[in-house]
Amino acid sequence: MDNYNKDYYAVIMAGGVGSRFWPVSTAAFPKQFHDMMGSGETLLQRTFKRLAHVVPRENILILTNQSYLDLVKEQLPNITTAQIILEPALRNTAPCILLSALKINKQNENAVMVVIPSDHWIQQQENFIKDIKKSFEEASRENILITLGIKPTTPNTGFGYIKYEKEEGKSFYRVDKFTEKPSLRNAKKFLEEGNYLWNAGIFIWKVSFIIDSFSKYQPEMLGLFEKGIEKLNSTEEEEFIEETYPETQNISVDYAVMEKSDAVRVKPASFDWNDLGTWGALYQELAKDKDENAVISAHLFPMGSKRNLIYTHKPKVVVVDGLDDYIIVDDMEVLMIVPKEKEQEIKEIRSKVMEKFGENLG
């Protein structure tokens, strides 16, 4: 695609473990590096390709954990090492976003950046491109912090919500407040009120303005990085980050900046979205057979079993007799059979299995 704006940058967050997708997603090989949907591309590869329609490829940075460097290089062989930002410690989203912004700002003071998770499922690519472009244009004009919100389709209790002020004739609305994962009762109420959106964790802003916002709301964190500002984008950067990063606060950008600022705007997204946070979320996106079973890799012989998700790491015949609404995952080291209603407990199950049978299973 021609006519790229050289001031546009993207940061893909690809450092999470995705423990609710255990046993396929492990600390050594998390879900963003898997082809979770059987589409022929991993979630990270799809996210990169999607952004490359709006942002110059050389301006797309990958934020990830040190231990995933080889996975990123293997899956995105055409990017340079300079495009990969490695976190030496797990510190949530605020420190890594600030570090990315400072690095980009040293390259280009006029930069506008989008921050996006690597592991979401979006199929309506044209609508996504349109929304990101509009947001880039709006953020270029004004000192605002834009987030994209998803129109809720169910009273989901697993997402954060954004309450916004409806204003006629506008595409970007003032944010009233961010709400953490609500009770089912409150989630139903939010849907009825009609001015709540799911928080997708997609942000667009001027790089200079997000740095100013950290200066205002998180001066200590900014101060830590500013001590070595001249080392960023140089051969001394790695050593400086190794020393400094673990000292930063473990806090999300939502808590650190977004919930404190009065410059936040939300744009309701026009594209489909699934955060693929659980096996159940994956089940919703997959094609189903006549018994509403969703299958990845396996050759299913269902024997009256319905509404199951069956995943095998390689093609094999799976016989399921008399099971309804189950998650059945056959990975190389672990076979897991869990009722769908317990999908939120998989993180806890993973911890208990690791405790009993060893860390290498997690």
Q: Report the DSSP pairing between strands 326-330 and 335-339.
A: antiparallel
Mean pLDDT of the chain: 92
Q: What is the mean pLDDT of residues 348-361?
A: 89
SS3 readout for 180-197: CCCCHHHHHHHHHHCCEE
pLDDT at 1 over 70: no
CA distance linking residue 2 with residue 53, whole number of Å: 9
Indicate the pLDDT class of residue 3, thresholds 50, 70 and 90. Answer: low
pLDDT of residue 334: 93
Tens of pLDDT, residue by residue over 258-290, are: 999 999 999 999 999 988 888 988 998 899 999
CB 16 within 8 A of CB 119: yes
CB 120 within 8 A of CB 276: yes
Q: Specify the higher pLDDT residue, 99 or 91.
A: 99
Indicate the pLDDT class of residue 52, thresholds 50, 70 and 90. Answer: very high
- The single residue listed with the structure tokens 């690791």 is 354
Tens of pLDDT, residue by residue over 111-169, are: 999 999 998 889 899 999 999 999 999 999 999 999 999 999 888 888 899 999 988 77
Tens of pLDDT, residue by residue over 8-29, are: 999 999 988 878 889 988 888 8
Q: What is the mean pLDDT of residues 77-101?
A: 93
CATH of region 8-274, choose from 3.40.50.2000, 3.30.390.10, 2.70.150.10, 3.90.550.10: 3.90.550.10
Could you give the residue range(s) of every CATH 3.90.550.10 domain in the chain? 8-274
